[in-house]
Amino acid sequence: MYNIQTLNKIAACGTDLMDKSKYAFGDDVKNPDAILVRSAAMHDMELGDNLLAIARAGAGTNNIPIDKCSEKGVVVFNTPGANANAVKELVIAALLMSSRKIPASLDWIKTLKGKGDEVGKLVEKGKSQFAGPEIMGKKLGVIGLGAIGILVANAAAALGMDVYGADPFLSVDGALKLSGKVHYVKSNKEIFEQCDYITLHVPLLPDTKGMINADVIASMKKNVRLLNFSRDALVDETAIIDALNNGGMACYVTDFPTDALIGVDGVVALPHLGASTPESEDNCAVMAVKEIMDYIENGNIKNSVNLPNVEMTISGSAKICVIHKNVEGVINSLTAPVSAAGLNIENMMSKSKKDYAYTCLDVSGNTTGIESKLMEAANVISVRVIK
C-alpha cells in the first residue's frame, strides 16, 4: 500500500485515478510515500523517511524546499502547461484592464447607485476619466516563453498586437508552438526599451528575483503597462509604486496584491486567480497524480524540477533506480556491484540535471541484497528496486 498525503484540495478526477487497493490518500495520511500539493508552504515541513516524491499541481515550485528534497533523493514534479490556458485567459483580461480603466470604472459606477434618472447623464459626463488606448497594433513584450508565455504571445498576436518574446531557454517544442507572427528577440533589454505592454512569465529563481527594478523601469517607455501573473518577488514593489507615482509607468496589473500596492493609483490587483478554473484544477490534478504513480510504480520521471526526465520500460526481471550526485565515477560504482551480484544488465539509462543524476538499470537475475550494496557506494542518495 502506498500512502499519498494531500496538503491541499486536489481535484477528484486526479485522486480517482489511484487504485484504492494500492493507494491510501488524504490530508491525514502519515509517513507518506508521496505528497500532492498546490500552494501549501512546505519549507518548514519535516520530510519523512518514506518520502519518494512531491507533485505540485501547478507550475511554480517556490513553496517546496527543492534543495532539501534533492539532498534527500525526493523527486519534485510540477505540471507544466496544465493550467496554462487558464492563466493565459486571465492575462488577456489583464491586458484589456490595463488599457481602459475597467476596474476603476466598475467602482465608480457603484457610486452612482441611488441617483435615479440621473444615472445615464452622469455616466456620459464621467466616462472620459476611464478612457484608454486600444491594444491592437501596440507592442507587447512577453518575457519567458514557457507553456504560459507562448499561449499569451500567440493570443495577443491573434488580437492584433505586435508581439515580441524573449527566452534564452526556449525549447524546440516551444519554438514550434510559437506563432510565426511573434518576433523572437535575444534579450529582455529589447523588450524593456520598445514595448508598450510587458508581461512576465518566468519562474522565481535567484536569477529572476527583483528583475524588474528601478533601473530596468527607467529603461522602459514612460507609459508602459506591466503585467505580473508569475510571482510577486520578480518585481521591486517600491520601484513600481515610485514609477506609478512619478509618471514612469501607466499601470501595473498583478495577481499578487500586497498592502503597499492596494489603493495605489495605476495598480490593478487581483486575487491569485490564474489557475482557478475547474478545467485547470482537473488538468493539474490528473497530471500530478499520473506523475506520482508512474514514479512510484515504474520509476519513471517526467516533469521533475530537480531530477532529469528518465523513462524506461523493464524487459528484465527488475529495475534498479538510483538517485545520486552528478559526479565522476558513480556509474562504475553502480555497475560493478550489480555485475558482482550475478545480475545481467539488459538496459541502462542515466541522465543528469545540474548536481544530481538518475540512473536506471534494467536487470535479470536475483536482486536480493542489491539495494544495501548500492547504498554503500559513494555519492549514492537513494536506491529502489522495482519488480
Stretch that binds ligand MLT, among 122-130, 176-184, 269-277, 369-377 (CB under 6 A): 269-277
Q: Which of 5, 6, 83, 188 binds ligand MLT (CB under 6 A)?
A: 83
Interface residue with ligand MLT among 14, 32, 58, 266 (CB under 6 A) is 58
Residue closer to ligand MLT (CB basis): 253 or 385: 253
Query: Does 275 engage in binding with ligand MLT (CB under 6 A)?
Result: yes
- CA count, 13 A, side-chain hemisphere, 171: 7
Q: Does 205 bind ligand MLT (CB under 6 A)?
A: no
60 binds ligand MLT (CB under 6 A): yes
Q: How far is the CB of 83 from ligand MLT (least distance, A)?
A: 5
Check residue 151 for interaction with ligand MLT (CB under 6 A): no
- Sequence-ordered list of residues with C-beta below 8 angstroms from that of 380, at least 6 positions apart, any chain: 322, 323, 324, 330, 333, 334, 374
Which residue's CB is nearer to ligand MLT, number 38 or number 319?
Answer: 38
Q: Does 103 bind ligand MLT (CB under 6 A)?
A: no
Phi, psi of 201 (to 5 degrees): -140, 55
Q: In the complex with ligand MLT, which residue's Cβ is closer, 161 or 200?
A: 200
DSSP letter at 235 equals B
Rounded distance, CA 29 to CA 15, Å? 14
**Residue 147 in contact with ligand MLT, rule: CB under 6 A:** no
- The residue (of 41 and 378) whose beta carbon lies closer to ligand MLT is 41
Measured from the CB of residue 87, what is the shortest distance to ligand MLT in angstroms?
7
Sheet holding 139-143, edge to edge: 183-185, 162-166, 139-143, 197-200, 225-228, 251-254, 267-269
184 in Cβ contact with 160 (< 8 Å): no
CA distance 292 to 52: 9
What is the number of the residue whose Cβ is closest to ligand MLT?
58
* Contact stretch for ligand MLT (CB under 6 A) within 52-60, 90-98, 162-170, 177-185: 52-60
In this structure, what C-alpha cell is assigned to residue 369? Answer: 541484497
Sole binder of ligand MLT in the list 73, 266, 274, 316 (CB under 6 A): 274
The answer to whether residues 166 and 141 touch, using CB atoms and an 8 Å cutoff, is yes
Amino acid in the structure at residue 33: D
Q: Between 203 and 337, whose beta carbon lies closer to ligand MLT?
A: 203
234 binds ligand MLT (CB under 6 A): no
Which residue, chain included where needed, has cell 522602459? 220
**In this chain, which stretch among 58-66, 107-115, 167-175, 331-339 interacts with ligand MLT, using CB under 6 A?**
58-66
Please, what is the end-to-end C-alpha distance for the chain in angstroms? 15
Exposure string over 219-228, b if 16+ CB within 10 A, otherwise e: ebbeebbbbb
**Taking the complex as a whole, how short is the minimal distance between the CB of residue 55 and ligand MLT, in angstroms?**
12
**Residue number, 39 or 213, with CB nearest to ligand MLT:** 39
Q: Which one of the spans 7-15, 16-24, 56-64, 130-138 is the region binding ligand MLT (CB under 6 A)?
A: 56-64
Q: According to the binding rule CB under 6 A, does residue 288 interact with ligand MLT? A: no
- 149 touching ligand MLT, by CB under 6 A: no
User: Is residue 144 within the footprint of ligand MLT (CB under 6 A)?
Assistant: no
39 binds ligand MLT (CB under 6 A): yes
Q: Which of 35, 151, 132 is nearest to 90 (CA)?
A: 151
Q: In which order are the strands placed within the sheet that holds 75-77?
A: 23-26, 2-6, 34-37, 53-56, 75-77
303: left (phi over 0), alpha (psi -120 to 50) or beta: left
Say how far residue 167 (Cα) sits from the centre of its chain. Answer: 15
By C-beta, is 204 or 341 nearer to ligand MLT? 204
Binding site for ligand MLT (CB under 6 A): 39, 58-60, 83, 272, 274-275
